[in-house]
Amino acid sequence: MRKNVLKNLIVYIMIGVGLVLSSCSVGEKQEKPNIIFIMSDDHTSQAVGAYGDRFASLDPTPSIDRLADEGMLFRNVFCTNSICTPSRATIMTGQHSHSNGVLDLAGVLPPERHYLPQEMSKA
C-alpha cells in the first residue's frame, strides 16, 4: 500500500511539473492584444446599428457594425456620470467622479497619475 501511495505521489508531481512547464513560454515573444477602444460622447447605443435598436437606421454605422460582427459587443454597460468630462474621466481613471475629483465640465485630471492609455500601452 505504501508503494502505491509513493507511486501515485510521483505521478502527480510529474503531471504538475509538466503542466507548469507547458504553460511557460520560453523565448517566445508575447503578442500584444488587439484592442480597439471606441469612445463617443453623448452617443446612445440605440444609434449604433450593431445593437439593432430603433435609431440605428437614422445614421448608419457600417464600420462599427462590422467591428462588432467580427469582434465583441458589450450589452451590459453603465454610465456612472452622464456629463461629458466627468464621464471621460471615469473611463480614464476607473474611478467614480467623487473619487477622481472631476465633477463638472471644467474638471481636470492630474497629469502625474497613470491612466487607461498608459496601462493599455503596457499590455
pTM over 0.75: no
> In this structure, is residue 73 part of a structural domain?
yes
**pLDDT tens digits for range 61-100:** 899 899 889 988 888 887 778 888 998 899 889 899 999 9
Catalytic, out of 9, 13, 38, 84:
84
Domain with 87 in it: 78-123
Between vectors from CA 83 to CA 55 and to CA 46, what angle results, nearest 5°?
A: 15
Domain count, the chain: 2
> In this structure, is residue 95 part of a structural domain?
yes
> In this structure, is residue 29 part of a structural domain?
no
Helix (H) or strand (E) holding 72: none
> In this structure, is residue 114 part of a structural domain?
yes
**pLDDT tens digits for range 19-64:** 665 666 566 677 888 888 877 766 777 888 888 888 888 888 899 8
> In this structure, is residue 40 part of a structural domain?
yes
> Quick check: is 79 catalytic?
no
Same-domain check for residues 70 and 84:
no
**Cα dihedral value 90, 91, 95, 99, nearest 10:** -20
